[in-house]
A and B are shown apart, each in its own frame.
Chain A
Amino acid sequence: ILNVEQSPQSLHVQEGDSTNFTCSFPSSNFYALHWYRWETAKSPEALFVMTLNGDEKKKGRISATLNTKEGYSYLYIKGSQPEDSATYLCAFPPHNFNKFYFGSGTKLNVKP
C-alpha cells in the first residue's frame, strides 16, 4: 500500500479568503495525479488530472500545480466561496498498478 498524504485535514476560512492545500505522494513510479472535489451528499467529481512535472491546471478560481520530482501537488482556491465547501481528495495511480491510492482528503468549510 502506497502512502498518499494530504494536509491539512480540515480548513475553515471566510468567504473571500484564498487558500491552498497539499497532496504528497511517492515520487518514484509516477504516472498521474488526480484531484477530486466531494461535496456532501454528492458523488466525488473529477477536478484535474496532472501528468507532467511542472504542470499547472486551472478551472475557474481553482488551480493546481505538480512537482513529480519531490512528490507533491498543491491545490489553490482564490477568493473562496461557500459553494467551494467540500472535501478535496487527491489520488495517485502508480505506473503499472491498476488502481488509485487516495489521500484522506482536506475538508474545506467556507463561512459566508
Chain B
Amino acid sequence: DVKVTQSSRYLVKRTGEKVFLECVQDMDHENMFWYRQDPGLGLRLIYFSYDVKMKEKGDIPEGYSVSREKKERFSLILESASTNQTSMYLCASSLSRSWETQYFGPGTRLLVL
C-alpha cells in the first residue's frame, strides 16, 4: 500500500512566521502535489512536482514556495504566514502519468493567528 505521511496533523502559527509543511511518500512516485481545502471549495492545487528539483505552479501559488530535493519528500513553505492561509493542507503523490490515481496524506490543519 502507498503511504503518504505529513509532518503534522495540527499546527498553530503566528502571522509573519515562516512555516514548513513536510510530505513523504514511500512508493517511489514521480509526481507530488500540494493542495489546500477550504469549506465550500474543492481541493485547490498550490504546487506540484514531477521530478526531483522540478516544480510547477498550480492554481493558487501566491504566498507559497516548495522544495523537492529528494524524490520521496516534497515540502511546502509559507514564507510569511498570513491569516488567509489558515486552511487544511493535503499532500498527494502519483506514479507517473498525469491521469493516474493520486494518493493522499492525512492533511495538516493550519491555523494562523
- On A, residues with C-beta under 8 Å from B are 1, 4, 9, 31-32, 34, 36, 41-46, 49, 51, 89, 91, 93, 96-105
Contact in complex: B98, A104 (CB < 8 Å): no
Number of B residues whose C-beta is below 8 Å from A? 26
Q: Which residues of B contact A93 (CB under 8 A)?
A: 98-99
Closest to B42 in A: A102
Closest to B40 in A: A104
| Cα–Cα, bound, A111→B78 (Å) | 40
Name the one of A1, A32, A43, A46 contacting B59, with C-beta atoms under 8 angstroms: A1
Q: Which residues of A contact B106 (CB under 8 A)?
A: 41-43
Given A1-B59, A98-B48, A44 contacting B99 (CB threshold 8 A): no
- Please tell me if B103 contacts chain A, counting CB pairs below 8 Å: yes
- Please tell me if B58 contacts chain A, counting CB pairs below 8 Å: yes
Contact in complex: B58, A49 (CB < 8 Å): no
| Cα–Cα, bound, A102→B107 (Å) | 16
Q: Which residues of B contact A1 (CB under 8 A)?
A: 59
- What are 19 contact pairs spanning A and B, CB under 8 A? A1-B59, A9-B40, A36-B104, A42-B106, A43-B103, A43-B105, A43-B106, A44-B90, A51-B99, A91-B102, A98-B31, A98-B48, A98-B50, A98-B98, A99-B33, A99-B45, A99-B48, A100-B43, A103-B42
